[in-house]
Structure 1
């Protein structure tokens, strides 16, 4: 990818259905991905296991939004047991920081007291949200963030939650795989909608989120 690749170029890539990746954290090169099959999570089809629902409702975590974006992406880029390498290199991290500064990237964070123990981040364009990465250092912390994200997208009128790929981990929540052509049709419709990432009432609890998701299913 050209060194002059800018945040505006990145926005244009998402709008046409492609996204950036890198081979390794310390590899400065970035390439674009346009998968033949795309992972999506139907916003009305999130599957929440009973134990996770109990944690969302009664667990020890506090969920915050956009208070520690840089810390979340840094944690997502940090190697962990079972994941020795990451696709988030330094140029990609800088670009997402610029998207965040424009209000086009967001983080959903799971806190245990004053410690950030899980979360996710992604890109928001129109009524589409592109989930990029998540991390967890405490049980179910990233899963709790996902539940809160889906409730927030439903409240904000979003039409599409793009997970990029279908993995065994994501499949348990209802993520499915669709063709490139189907994805682009859905993306076009979603981009015509003006989603409101802050449409969820301030102070919404885990119970509020579960109710919003239940009503949409």
Structure 2
């Protein structure tokens, strides 16, 4: 069956209304446009994100259900505490954004191809340079062994992707992100699409309408610029 999508103009960063998103495939809203910083900021502020594979047109999505972590839901359990001690891990924010996104894009055993194409990487690096996109890094001595990156919309963090080279490093990066965010905000994290990994960590499947209300509440708020300067951060191990 043919799918008909609105085609975005190269000169207009607006998007169709969310109610026009398809139900099959769920959330597909529009195609075309570009990955300029202005358009990406417009998209995220309206509960929309880009997602496409090599050879596809640029596709924009707003799924009917979002994967959201509420404040104080990402905590250290006994297994993660052992991982911290065993591998002697340290954490940072925005110290290696380009390396994190490149590691997220690297082929994986069960996922040989990637949607984090070179044009996606360059677009989000530009977002990072302009203070809109941030990374959390997990280090074992001087080796980057895990991390994540995403876009901050006001006080809501929209996670894009994560990786780990040792067990549970991605989980620890998520915990570090929420703890860091909660120093200056409530700590809401959007992970876009529900999957078994996120459900295991306690993600909430949130209907689009509820997510839009949450986004509207937090997108006008802000966090201090200095909070996202490149630096080492520490996990609060007292929260279990």
Corresponding residue for 2:133?
A: 105
Question: How far has the Cα of 1:31 moved from its partner?
Answer: 0.8
What is the TM-score of this pair, normalised by structure 2? Answer: 0.79
For 1:176-191, list aligned pairs within 5 A. 176-191=204-219
For 1:151-170, list aligned pairs within 5 A. 151-170=179-198
Q: Which moved more, 1:135-144 or 1:173-182?
A: 135-144
Residue 205 of structure 1 pairs with residue 234 of structure 2: yes
Aligned residues: CA RMSD: 2.2
For 2:182, what is the secondary structure of its paired residue? helix
Structure 1 Cα separation of the partners of residues 124 and 84 of structure 2: 28
Deviations 1:98-136 (CA, angstroms, capped at 9, x unpaired): 100001111101111221111000111211100000001
Structure 1 Cα separation of the partners of residues 214 and 33 of structure 2: 31
Structure having the larger proportion of residues in helix:
1
For 1:1-150, list aligned pairs within 5 A. 1-2=31-32, 4-23=34-53, 26-27=54-55, 29-56=57-84, 59-150=87-178
Question: How far has the Cα of 1:46 moved from its partner?
Answer: 2.0
Question: How far has the Cα of 1:60 moved from its partner?
Answer: 1.3
Tell me the number of residue pairs that the alignment of Structure 1 and Structure 2 aligns.
209
Structure number with bigger Rg: 2
Question: CA 1:133–1:5 in 2, change beyond 3 Å: closer, same or farther?
Answer: closer
Structure 1 Cα separation of the partners of residues 101 and 217 of structure 2: 28
For 1:124, what is the secondary structure of its paired residue? strand
**Structure 1, unpaired ranges of 5+:** none
Write out the 4+ residue segments of structure 1 that deviate beyond 6 Å after TM superposition: none
**Structure 2, unpaired ranges of 5+:** 1-30
Deviations 1:76-119 (CA, angstroms, capped at 9, x unpaired): 01111112222211221111011000011111011112211110
What is the TM-score of this pair, normalised by structure 1? Answer: 0.87
Question: CA 1:4–1:132 in 2, change beyond 3 Å: closer, same or farther?
Answer: closer
